[in-house]
Chains A and B, each alone.
Chain A
């Protein structure tokens, strides 16, 4: 039996974090349930193109209700903490700005870096907890040889969330527990059932929590409209890789690298978005062969398994959440910028997404693709 600790559990109202709370409680720890109120789901409801009402999603009243019921059922104190301002500043606004600059952002990583493992950790410490546990599928452990905290891939590869966690610092990792790291999702559901949690069968959430219905374009319109801002004119030309202008597009934020549908032009062979040129609002299109590239550059690098990268290393690199890590060389090219050279060309390397570097199960680090 491990020594009882005071642990704050970040509870979303879903199966995973609820099971974490129940597990830690059953192990005899002093557990405090916390739910972060990050976004008012009613805020965009009723705006043009947005649903009238939103239910059953992150930060919705239904989820808070579920989390509260679990806390009450397992007998732990539970609180909702309001971080709406920080969330809007550090996640929502950058999300909108990235799309309007022609990049494809990952809000979940920003939320992890700035809220779940930053603000929530501060709150946890302030209320007397020495660490935060979450329902992420990942593992964290201390490596005596390196003298560093390591982030590792979980037992259930299909649920691996390390891609979104590459930004965690040593200090953050030292105060974080991922109790589900060694379990598969079916095992988690089974445990939830055994613990008698009513929400054991609740479906997983997949979409971006603050974008109702998953339509980010409409969300951007509604968000700007709410601020009284008109959508900036990001319309421009559709240009082929040969430099030929073949049409107009409605705005660069409507496109993602690798996208095929919705280009509004008919040609003999299939066309894909190859590149989005934010500065002159051009969307470059071309055949599939142009989508493949062997190198990428990425900035704002965070190393986890190393304190710094002094010489090139062999790694496997994941360039989007659903991407099998591909073998590559990783080298540093300046203070916070790295270059990745893949053994084989990779399809649709997308600015705004993260490149996360692995050695076997270990997350070496990651950076934002430019």
Chain B
């Protein structure tokens, strides 16, 4: 069976060039980047080269990049590193669990947290952020692009609000990095999170941009790695991979690859909507990252759809997997005011650099027939068909 992977917002394959760049650092170049000898110097150079590449991707200085174990750590370091007991935090209702649960933890330890809503298209209104400001507001955390809908948030406007109010602004750019150009100066954020495996680098590596002069409380205690902002021996192969992926992303933007990806996504989306009734795009009309399409198909269970498609070789996703691997209705879609049955009937298609026109053709052949089959067997669809 040919397998097509359209779940790149969950994880992306490591690109061959990235793997090639990483390979020596699993073997002959194994030194601890803090060591003074040749072996240490070799890996130190690789880490700093990667830091330059990631800094270039984000439009900042290399010294402003802290390497972490991934998006979750970056988010936690940003939030717990900047806010503490007595502080007020503003965040949206559609943040990733890494931000949601980090804020929730701080709430339990004496922070106040305001949850800014989103509109039906899944966008935060910057005025809501402004109105939520208080005298003790310390941090605003609003993501750059949502993981489930791909909807881009008005981070520049929020950056201005943060600057006027003189509060920290963190943006979780895990789903934006590599997909749309990022310039931390334009955004006006103080901290910004990215994750390797969402942009064709390996799992287990990420980075946090920390604006010069921003004092962060570290999460870990140990050596003075990463300018004392993140203790622990560097994950050199991972960091090298992230650096290479950042370079490739930059090249991609100059070649217009993001526009090509957008064309592929739009063809998939339009193709599905042309063949399937009672379906629509969640977040339609809002600016989105070019790879994501979240579609609801009335009268079916997204869970069954994901399983049925997987058994035919097409990997997509719905909602968020809980610890057992079962699917829970998406907090993002319900925050957009989507009815519970539609939230459960929503499927996320997310493309990666490896996907081809042929992949989209195959998906376009599989999705409509699977929807038809599921609806035929759906108790609610039958009731509706009888009543209409």
Contacts and interface: CB of A to CB of B under 8 A. Distances in A.
Given A37-B324, A37-B326, A125-B377, A82 B308 contact: no
Contact of B324 (A32, A64, A77, A128): A64
Contacts of B328: 82
Given A125-B377, A126-B308, A126-B373, 14 more contacts: A32-B311, A61-B324, A64-B324, A68-B325, A77-B310, A80-B324, A80-B325, A82-B326, A122-B377, A126-B304, A126-B374, A127-B308, A128-B311, A128-B373
Interface string B294-322: 00000011011001101100000000001
- A35, A59, A84, A122: which has the most chain B beta carbons within 10 Å? A122
Interface string B310-347: 11000000000011111110000000000000000000
A37 B323 CA distance: 11
A301 to B, nearest CB: 24
Interface in A123-153: 123, 125-128
Nearest to A59: B324
Interface of B: 300-301, 303-304, 307-308, 310-311, 322-328, 373-374, 377-379
Interface string A21-63: 0000000000010010100000000000000000000010100
14 contacts: A35-B324, A61-B323, A80-B324, A81-B303, A81-B327, A82-B322, A82-B326, A122-B377, A122-B378, A123-B304, A126-B300, A126-B308, A126-B378, A127-B304
Nearest to B340: A85
A77 B1 CA distance: 13
Contacts of A61: 323-324
Contact of A123 (B301, B322, B324): B301
Contacts of B377: 122, 125-126
A79 interface: yes
Nearest to A82: B326
A79 B306 CA distance: 10
Interface of B is mostly: mixed
Interface string A115-126: 000000011011
B324 A127 contact: no
Interface string A166-177: 000000000000
- 6 closest pairs, A vs B, by CB? A37-B326, A82-B326, A126-B304, A80-B325, A80-B326, A127-B308
Nearest to A118: B379
Nearest to B304: A126
A59 B310 CA distance: 23
Contacts of B300: 126
Contacts of B325: 64, 68, 79-80
Given A122-B379, A126-B308, A126-B373, A82 B327 contact: yes
A64 B303 CA distance: 17
A37 B308 CA distance: 18
A342 to B, nearest CB: 39
Interface in A72-96: 77, 79-82, 84
Given A125-B377, A126-B377, A81 B326 contact: yes
A86 B265 CA distance: 35
A37 B322 CA distance: 10
Given A37-B324, A64-B325, A82-B327, A127 B379 contact: no
A61 B323 CA distance: 8
A64 B326 CA distance: 10
- A59, A84, A123, A126: which has the most chain B beta carbons within 10 Å? A126
Nearest to B323: A61
Nearest to B308: A127
B326 A127 contact: no
A125 B328 CA distance: 21
- B324, B325, B374: which has the most chain A beta carbons within 10 Å? B324
Contacts of A123: 301, 303-304, 307
